[in-house]
Amino acid sequence: MVIISIAGYSQVSGPTDSLRADSLRVKAGKGNAKPEDLSQQYDVADLFHTILHPSKKANDSKKRSPVTVVPNIAANPTIGFQLGIKAVAGKRLGNDPNTLFSVAATSASITTKGIIYFYINHNVFTPGNKWNLQGNIVIAKTVTPDFGLGIGNPYMGDDPAQAVLADNARKVYPINSVYYNVREKVYKNISQRLFVGAGLSFEVRRNIKNKDTTNNATPSSIYNNKYGYPKDRYSANGLLFNIQYITRDNPNRAYKGIYADAGIRINQTWLGSTKNAVQLTTDFRKYFSFSARYPETVLAVWNWGNYLLAGSVPYIELPGTARDGSFRSGRGYTAQYFKGTRFNDTEVEMRFPLLKNKFLSGVVFGNLQTSNDFHGTPIFHTFRKGYGAGLRVLFNKTTRTNLALDYAFGEFGNKGFFLNLNETF
């Protein structure tokens, strides 16, 4: 399978911490920190200035817009060709230099197969980091590619339902639906870098359609019959409780630090959820900078996990490939190519500048995914790999916004081109 994808369904996740006295900033009087010197960096705005005004010297002291707008284009065998527009913004609220960076994004797109996707999301820190507000609104008409449940281990028994659920042939079963999601979490700062939060998430799908929903001809119909989900609709509405620790310096492209978040999601029928469920989610990211002169030379490590502790969740909402908060994990595969009731993904990426002016950078990366299945494979028993390399183009040096172009390879013949705004993690 060949995939060409520019993530139109991404979500800005994770706040950023202000940099103190280190290789990226220089000290000013009375211990105050000044922003890093950007005069030697070259971004897309500088390129346009060079093309449109070649004889006019650029004014580096002029304040840059914190908003980046780019086309949102994608293509793969499931969705056809996608065209849209995406905007990402960043700003520090208030006058306290220690206030963390606030970010927001919005996108609208449509595809040749009639898929429509619109979202708005935000991650806002009030002055002094007293509160952190994270949330999103999504309205979409979607197609979800389904390759069965599990990590790709074949089923060798004589139960026909298990054979379909495991999908030994790795056949794709497209699932059409209309999707709505409203989510909001409010975090309270309890120490310099530690937050605790709570919130609500409402995920609703209607007009679900696939090749079969009654006689166990598709993996989703087998799952729905097993757990008693309606064939054409469901709701997964729940309470969210999280704890979050942050030292990373920027959410768009971190040079150093940690982002960690652990949470419990409790779906409840009294909130309108079709079924009750309890899930544990974990998200850990660590960034190591190897050079004071070129701090963007970074080794980045990411581990994301989602584990069902009790109850059941709808089939399309099972954790799996690219089901993290930003929908970007598992490069080399389509979304939910692997999935289970328990899922974990580990990724490592080496980032390095290619040009002295930082306009172009390169990356090499790899990932390992693991999940359970219903015919005996436990999580952390089988791992599926993905790997690749890519280029980065600096779009906005003020907010460290870049364009990420990656080509990735996976198992079972999967490979593809992935284009995103900002780093994968």
At residue 36, the pLDDT reads 66
Query: CA-CA distance, 132 to 345, in Å (whole number)?
Result: 26
d(CA 311, CA 303): 24
Contact 138, 327 (CB under 8 A): no
What pLDDT, on the 0 to 100 scale, is given for residue 33?
A: 43
Domain extent for 97:
2-421
**pLDDT given at position 268:** 98
CA distance 44 to 55: 17
CA 26 centroid distance within chain = 32
What would the 3-class secondary structure string for 296-308 be?
A: CCEEEEEEEEEEE
- Beta carbons of 100 and 17 less than 8 angstroms apart: yes
Dump pLDDT digits (tens) for 140-183: 998 888 999 999 999 999 898 899 999 888 888 889 999 999 99
C-beta of residue 204 within 8 angstroms of C-beta of residue 235: yes
Report the DSSP beta bridge partners of residue 369.
345, 384
Q: How far is CA 408 from the centre of its chain?
A: 16
Please state, in angstroms and rounded to a whole number, the distance separating the CA atoms of residues 148 and 129.
Answer: 43
Q: Report the distance separating Cα 168 and Cα 154, nearest Å.
A: 5
Q: How far apart are CA 142 and CA 140, in angstroms?
A: 6
Q: Spell out, as residue ranges, where the chain has pLDDT lower than 70.
A: 1-37, 39, 46, 48-49, 52-53, 55-66, 73-80, 212-214
Strand pairing report for 401-410 and 384-396: antiparallel
- For residue 123, how many other CB atoms are within 10 A of its CB? 25
SS3 336: coil
CATH number of the domain to which 58 belongs: 2.40.160.50
Given this model, what pLDDT does residue 69 score? Answer: 79
Q: Are 300 and 285 in contact (CB under 8 A)?
A: yes
**Total domains, the chain:** 1
* Strand (E) or helix (H) holding 60: none
Q: Find out whether 268 and 303 touch, Cβ atoms under 8 Å.
A: no
